Amino acid sequence: MGCIDFLPKKKQNQILFLLFLTAATIWNKLAIVKLLSQTIVKPLPSISANSDLALVSETQASHFSYHETKVFDDLYMSLVYSRSKIFLERPIEIETKTILRISPLEKFVFAVSDISYDKIMNWRFSCDISGGKQTTGPVEATVSASHGLKPHVVLKCNFNERNSNLRHVQQHIIDTYEEEGQDDIPSNLKLTIKGDFHTSPAYGEKKYVGVLPLFWEKTRSKKVPEISPKVSICLGPLFGDALSIQKKISKWARYHHNLGIERVYAYSLFENFSVEFLDPSFLQIIPSRSFLKGEHPVVQNNLQNHPYRDQSTLYAHCWLKYSTEADWLVNMDFDEYLYLNHDVPLKTYF
């Protein structure tokens, strides 16, 4: 026994017992560290090099709609659409873009009017991704102007291991993707957007909270678009006399199909609106009547009587939702036509 041989037998047993407990504790800690390291370094989802992995707030077949409308003294806010792109390289990062409609409550004119900067400059926004009991915690959002603040903004949040508890939801992301990582499948994750009115006298009195469920989306990355670019059109809103619009759109669609346009995303205010066309996949009708519903009487009246008020928001929705399917997106009305004054194919022109 070496240096403890001279000690009494009882004392020797006590020391041996303490050494055994110490060794057992160290062994258990090493086992826990090994288990945690195996969990943390679990391989990230293996997807095609030609694919992008994202979490989106709508499925491809969803109607256009406003979500979580909140009315304040001088304006109202609604969530429109969100896309969270996941970068799988270590360490994992998530880049989130969310369209937030911010509109004044005063009477609208027919044309789309700006929302003044002072309407939003005192608001501070944050994003939070959560799944089950795990959450990233809030990450500050930067506010970007889109279409000159007419009448929406884009909130951008970048989640990484330095500014959030992203590792807390990383395993949830990996597990849910491996189990259900297909297009339009619920991810069991949600995005929370919070806004606080940040002026000193009224700090905390005005709050906006909106929650969006997230779905998996796996899209093909665009490779060398200059070789054969995909050019699509965002069209809308369609309203007025349904029969007259159907005739005009049929002619309009044939012209642009022959021109070489890849696809048209047409936002329609009609119920059960359809257009007879040779290629149904070319003209995608997106029902948009649901956005006419407003909880506040002023909101409801403005949306119903001024459909062009929402045009720029429809275009922003089209840009963020369908940009992965095209290299170029053109915003147009149905009384406008693309015209090439050079005798070259459309894709060669772009």
Q: Say whether pLDDT at 52 is over 90.
A: no
List strands edge to edge, sheet with 328-332: 283-287, 264-268, 231-238, 328-332
* The pLDDT of residue 119 is above 80: no
Let me know if residue 208 belongs to a domain: yes
Question: Regarding predicted confidence, which is higher, 166 or 42?
Answer: 166
Instruction: Specify whether 197 is located in the same domain as 146.
Output: yes
More confident residue, 70 or 176: 70
Residue 258 belongs to some domain of the structure? yes
- Look at residue 40 and tell me whether its pLDDT is greater than 60: no
What is the percentage of the chain residues whose pLDDT exceeds 90? 23
Average pLDDT score over the chain: 76
318-332 mean pLDDT:
91
> Which among 122, 254, 262, 139 is positioned nearest to 201, based on CA atoms?
122
Higher pLDDT, 96 or 28: 96
Domain assignment present for residue 45? The answer is: no
Which residues lie closer than 8 Å to 26 by C-beta, 6 or more apart? none
**Position 331 in a domain:** yes
DSSP letter at 191? E
15 and 121 together in one domain: no
Residue 189 has pLDDT above 80, yes or no: yes
Residue 60's nearest CA partner among 349, 302, 286, 332 is 286
Is 207 within the bounds of a domain?
Answer: yes
> Does residue 166 register a pLDDT over 60?
yes
Q: Does 89 share its domain with 161?
A: yes
Residue 226, domain member (yes or no): no
State pLDDT tens for residues 242-297.
888 888 998 999 999 989 999 999 998 887 788 876 677 899 988 886 555 555 56
pTM of the model: 0.79
Statement to judge: residues 59 and 194 lie in one domain: yes
The verdict on 155 and 56 lying in the same domain is yes
Residue 212 has pLDDT above 90, yes or no: yes
Please check whether residues 16 and 73 belong to one and the same domain: no
Residue 83's domain comprises 51-220
pLDDT tens digits, one per residue of 148-158:
556 788 999 99
